[in-house]
Structure 1
Amino acid sequence: MSESSELRPRPLLPGRVPLSSHVLVAAVSALLAVVALSDLFAVFAGVRVHLLIDGDDSFATAPQQELDAAYGLYETAGNVQIMAYVPCAVLFVVWFFLMRRNTGLLAPDRFRNGPGWAIGAWVIPLANFWMPYRIAVDMWGASTPLPDDGEPYRASIWPVNLWWGLFVSSTLFGRYAASRYGNAETPAQVRSAVAQYVAADILDLAAAAAAVYFAVRLTAMQRLKASG
């Protein structure tokens, strides 16, 4: 064998998962943890605003300076959430695409569309509430170990359902709460909208935790099946 052929890069073998996906899942998990912490900060700030507003269309006896500080902290919490969410969303979609591409090497017959849809599905209006879920289900099924001879093939997808259900719920409820908060005119309406925002933030925190479990579990399953 010549020296030049020794230096030639070897092609990726089918079923072999690149290390980049495992490095990415660690980074995605870390950013999801940051998102969860930003949600926790927003919950704290929202509860503080909620407690300082009376429910009878009038402000509580708290000084105006304290109310202004609470509103300022609440706005800061919202900005922190955006700064945490944007890079996490970008990196998660990159990881999602790599997982779809790698899983296609393990079971190409499991997918109806090409790997590019693992990115495009997130940006198509309305379809982005369904298509990423279908791709995730297909990846989960393709990565599930095959049963022993004679045993029925059953791929439990509850981690996918839990993650996606929480993600969609938090997204829709968050948009509804944002609309209510933006249209609030009385203190009672502000108080109600903030309570709804707090609920949406709690759902988002739970969705982030479920996303970590889904991502780590799927990566581990794919790695196990590729090495088998």
Structure 2
Amino acid sequence: MLESNGGTRPPSPLPGSVPLASRGLLTAVVAAFAAAALSDLFAVYTGVRLRMLADDDTTDPTASSLDSAYSLYERAGQVQVSTTLLCAVLFVTWFFLMRRRTGLLAPDRFGMGQGWAIGAWFIPIANLWLPYRVAVDMWGACSPLSAEGETRRVPMWPVNLWWGLFAGNALLGRYAASRLDTADSLTEISDAVTLYLAVDLLYVAAAGAAVLFAVRLTALQRLKATEGPYWTPPGS
């Protein structure tokens, strides 16, 4: 699945010869992440409600009120799972198609074949790093060239922000899940829910960062595919 970079830079594609990234699919990705963010905020609300009942020292919460609050919290989690699966399907589809289109712009910039844009997400542990490498290569492939043919680096903070939030929150989410699964007292449930509140809030931030990354990369791909590989300084 590895692609050879070769010893020389391949010919640059002519403007208009590379398919443009789909704005329709991008819109669907953005909408899915918006739905996921709303479900995360709903989970935060139900988590705060459950935690307040569990920690309330002024009244003695009944078993039925706690069961009701916990049931609502679990339903919020089910909604999160559904929206997360939708995001995963749409985003990985967009990610693969973007890898294919950016590969046409600068095939020498990639160390892994197109299949890794999908496969990298499903390798345990390695999926905390490999998709980021594909994203970095795509970002570099969309970076314009100077008149001398050297790559003009586009700031990579959208890539780093998205992946830092995503990977870090994935690890924190696994830890919070293990804490909640083993909780057998109100105090332990309260502590686990507090962790999940942080996870859910960070997922909202990660969703926003993913949207920013997708929109910026799509814009870069469309610009380079439309105007050609070379960057023209403003006013020249």
TM-score (norm 2): 0.84
State how far apart, in whole Å, the 2-side matches of 1:49 and 1:23 are: 39
Query: Residues 14 and 106 of structure 1 are in contact (CA less than 8 Å); yes or no, is this contact kept in structure 2?
Result: no
Give the alignment of 1:101-120 within 5 angstroms: 101-120=100-119
Matched, 1:196 2:195: yes
How many residue pairs were aligned? 215
Which ranges of structure 2 fall in alignment gaps of 5 or more residues?
1-13, 228-236
Give the alignment of 1:54-93 within 5 angstroms: 54=55, 60-93=59-92
Give, as a single letter, the amino acid of the residue that structure 2 aligns with 1:54.
D
Matched, 1:161 2:165: no
| TM-aligned CA distance change 1:150 to 1:42, over 3 Å | same
Question: Identity percentage over the alignment?
Answer: 60
Between 1:97-106 and 1:135-144, the stretch displaced more is: 135-144
State how far apart, in whole Å, the 2-side matches of 1:140 and 1:152 are: 11
Root-mean-square deviation over aligned CA pairs: 2.3
Query: Residues 169 and 203 of structure 1 are in contact (CA less than 8 Å); yes or no, is this contact kept in structure 2?
Result: no
**1:140-168 CA distance string (max 9 Å, x none):** 11112334669983331100000001001
Q: What is the aligned partner in structure 2 of residue 25 from structure 1?
A: 26
Query: Residues 28 and 91 of structure 1 are in contact (CA less than 8 Å); yes or no, is this contact kept in structure 2?
Result: yes
| TM-aligned CA distance change 1:36 to 1:222, over 3 Å | same
State how far apart, in whole Å, the 1-side matches of 2:120 and 2:58 are: 45
Matched, 1:178 2:185: no
Query: Residues 174 and 197 of structure 1 are in contact (CA less than 8 Å); yes or no, is this contact kept in structure 2?
Result: yes
Q: What is the aligned partner in structure 1 of residue 50 from structure 2?
A: 49
State how far apart, in whole Å, the 2-side matches of 1:201 and 1:89 are: 16
**1:66-104 CA distance string (max 9 Å, x none):** 222211110100000011111210111010000000000
State how far apart, in whole Å, the 2-side matches of 1:179 and 1:60 are: 29
Q: What is the aligned partner in structure 2 of residue 9 from structure 1?
A: none
Q: What is the aligned partner in structure 1 of residue 37 from structure 2?
A: 36
Matched residue SS, 1:121: helix
Q: What is the aligned partner in structure 2 of residue 227 from structure 1?
A: 226
Q: What is the aligned partner in structure 1 of residue 233 from structure 2?
A: none
Give, as a single letter, the amino acid of the residue that structure 1 aligns with 2:120.
A
Displacement after TM superposition at 1:126 (Å):
1.2
Query: Residues 42 and 74 of structure 1 are in contact (CA less than 8 Å); yes or no, is this contact kept in structure 2?
Result: yes
State how far apart, in whole Å, the 1-side matches of 2:121 and 2:58 are: 42
| TM-aligned CA distance change 1:59 to 1:196, over 3 Å | farther
State how far apart, in whole Å, the 2-side matches of 1:60 and 1:167 are: 39
Between 1:147-156 and 1:194-203, the stretch displaced more is: 147-156
State how far apart, in whole Å, the 2-side matches of 1:43 and 1:72 are: 14
State how far apart, in whole Å, the 2-side matches of 1:118 and 1:37 are: 27
Matched residue SS, 2:55: coil
